[in-house]
Chains A and B, each alone.
Chain A
Amino acid sequence: NAGVTQTPKFQVLKTGQSMTLQCAQDMNHEYMSWYRQDPGMGLRLIHYSVGAGITDQGEVPNGYNVSRSTTEDFPLRLLSAAPSQTSVYFCASSYGGDQPQHFGDGTRLSIL
């Protein structure tokens, strides 16, 4: 099993550009989440999903969209990149809400 796979690992964008961060898991987990981690800080939840076709907002959803058309994939879209979105983005998945989350290796995103 590959676990949780995130692509790309690094990305530099210009202000106003859009892009999609990819996240895929091969563990048949229903629950998937996106977090951002700013330097020296904890993880803040952006969006999450409890199953295919179901998504909901976390604590910092503005400027991001998600969709969950399959159990395996949970892409995160930046609509119009802003410097404040420079961060490390982690995707995570788990069997259930009170089960251990498995994190991907992260995407380091810089917005100029």
Chain B
Amino acid sequence: GENVEQHPSTLSVQEGDSAVIKCTYSDSASNYFPWYKQELGKRPQLIIDIRSNVGEKKDQRIAVTLNKTAKHFSLHITETQPEDSAVYFCAARGLKAAGNKLTFGGGTRVLVKP
């Protein structure tokens, strides 16, 4: 099955700096890559997603890049703010998998220091 690895596991940045989280996946046929943000005690919420026919996608301060050849994708947060502090999860959906079978990475705890 699909295997998704996420790095780093923790990330501390100064407010205003950028944060980058990287994920690799194993199934070369994977076609959908969402990113979720989870605040303490809350449910995961989608912040951005990208499909395999696109190399980059932006939404205000958040961007995701996808390198299909290397089988990795990254989340970029610019001008970080204290409210960006949360756990971020990447996920990948393998094309061989039926239905909504997403495989999640282990998560990155981001702390933005004021």
Q: Which residues of A contact B (CB under 8 A)?
A: 31-33, 35, 40-45, 48-50, 56, 58-59, 90, 92, 94, 96-98, 100-106
Contacts and interface: CB of A to CB of B under 8 A. Distances in A.
B43 interface: yes
Contact of B100 (A44, A59, A101): A101
A87 to B, nearest CB: 14
B43 A106 contact: yes
Contact of A104 (B43, B102, B105): B43
A76 B100 CA distance: 17
A41 B89 CA distance: 10
B43 A90 contact: yes
B51 interface: yes
A102 to B, nearest CB: 8
A42 B100 contact: no
A92 to B, nearest CB: 8
Contacts of A104: 43
A79 to B, nearest CB: 23
A98 B43 contact: no
B112 to A, nearest CB: 19
Contact of B45 (A41, A42, A44, A103): A103
A98 B32 contact: yes
Given A103-B43, A103-B45, A106-B43, A43 B104 contact: yes
Nearest to A44: B104
A80 to B, nearest CB: 26
Nearest to A51: B99
